[in-house]
Amino acid sequence: MGPHPAVAAIRLAVRRVLHDVLTEFHRHNGHAPAPEPRRTTASAPAAPRYAEAGTAGSPALPNRPALSGGPALSDRPAAPLVLVACSGGADSMALASALAFEARKLGVRAGGITVDHNLQPGSGLRAAEVVTRLAAMDLDPVEAVAVHVGREGGPEAAARDARYAALDAAAERHGAAAVLLGHTRDDQAETVLLGLARGSGIRSLSGMAAASGPAGRYRRPFLQLDRQTARKACLVQSIPVWDDPHNIDPAYTRSRLRHEGLPALEKALGKGVVEALARTAQLSRDDADALDTWAAEAERSVRDETGQLECAKLYVLPPAVRRRVLRRAVIEAGAPAGSLFARHLEEVDRLITGWRGQRAINLPGRVEARRQGGRLVIRQS
């Protein structure tokens, strides 16, 4: 008898991602993937070692003695390290369990990271509990990293920035090929709705990518699975989970959307709203990718011999392509991508399409855009 359908679903999703990571790892290292080593009763895998982060809140775990009888380390094929970012919630615990199971079968090294945001009493103890649970799954290395959450951009954005900075640092520290994130189809639907509410463009409506970050570091295996599948997988495997009170706190926009907005939409429109929004995200991503490719090619044709943007050539481009060219140019000049909004690009676009001798446009990052002699000059002031 096979595993419960929910368990089978999460394992399959993780297996597909690990196959991609393995293929990329071996291509980068110039050799073909080695077959999974055969196990006999006389051999056993080496026991994991537990890493301790160099930050507050990181529990120290003793090393376990290595078991004898297995192949020597020098005889084993090189294998990538894949980390799971785990908060202790159902989504990430289900992801950790699937990674632990599939990594053993595929010969991938697997570890786990939990980030302590220091936003709630007892957060350090809870992080230590998560580390203990990850260690019990034989993940190696495992560590908790404490961070300081600022205030820029609001509490949710500030926590997200601190979390990704910690995950980036952990990935670099351990040389991880990938970091798995437990975002589900429900999270994707929420992201699309938040983008719609802000009046964002098609890139924002494309939601979260299956792979993102430096060199595709972050992987999201569960984007095609709903939240209930992950929770059911934890239940049937008797995996304890922690429900973050922030997820039901109406002070947070995403929490209100999750518990009030989406249920109201489903009541008004019927079931299937989450699936439809996730499908919209994928279709939007395909379109946005195509437009980005078009813009990258068009950019070369609208610059003169000195590299300046020519307004006449920009004018004839389709608006969606032209604004992408402008966005790329503004970011290259030093504007932070996260601070550059549609209203900024609309003002710069008017220098091309609605030129009336207006002054220079001031942009984030002390970047200035002005029209001068038929050229669009974008530089830091």
Cα(53)–Cα(141) distance, rounded to whole angstroms? 10
Tokens of 116: 């302590």
**Averaged pLDDT score across all residues of the chain:** 87
Q: What is the mean pLDDT of residues 161-179?
A: 96
| The pair of three-digit structure tokens given for residue 223, joined into one six-digit string | 């984007």
CB 115 within 8 A of CB 171: no
What's the token pair of residue 176? Answer: 């991880």
Q: Identify the residue whose tokens are 């990571």.
A: 21
Integer Cα distance of 57 and 117 in angstroms: 10
What number is the average pLDDT over the span 37-53?
38
Locate 256 and state its tokens. 């209100």
| 223 residue type, one letter | L
Q: What is the pLDDT of residues 298-328, one digit of tens each?
A: 999 999 999 999 999 999 999 999 999 999 9
Residue 32 — very low, low, confident or very high, per pLDDT cuts 50/70/90?
Answer: low
Q: Is the pLDDT of residue 171 over 90?
A: yes
Per the structure block, which two tokens stand in for 37?
A: 């080593």
CA distance 59 to 126: 11
pLDDT attached to residue 227: 95
User: How confident is the model over 91-105, as a mean pLDDT?
Assistant: 97
Overall average pLDDT of the 206-213 stretch: 94
The C-alpha torsion from 207 through 212 and 213 to 215, rounded to 10°, is -160
Residues 112, 98: Cα–Cα separation, whole Å: 12
Q: What is the per-residue pLDDT across 245-267, written as a single tens digit (0 to 9) for each?
A: 878 888 888 899 999 999 999 99
Average pLDDT, stretch 43-72? 38
- The Cα 102–Cα 238 span in angstroms is 18
Would you say 257 and 194 are in contact if contact means Cβ atoms under 8 Å apart? yes
The more confident residue out of 176 and 77 is 176
In this predicted structure, what is the pLDDT of residue 31? 61
Rg (CA), the chain: 24
Between 10-14, 243-247, 346-350, the lowest mean confidence (pLDDT) is in: 243-247
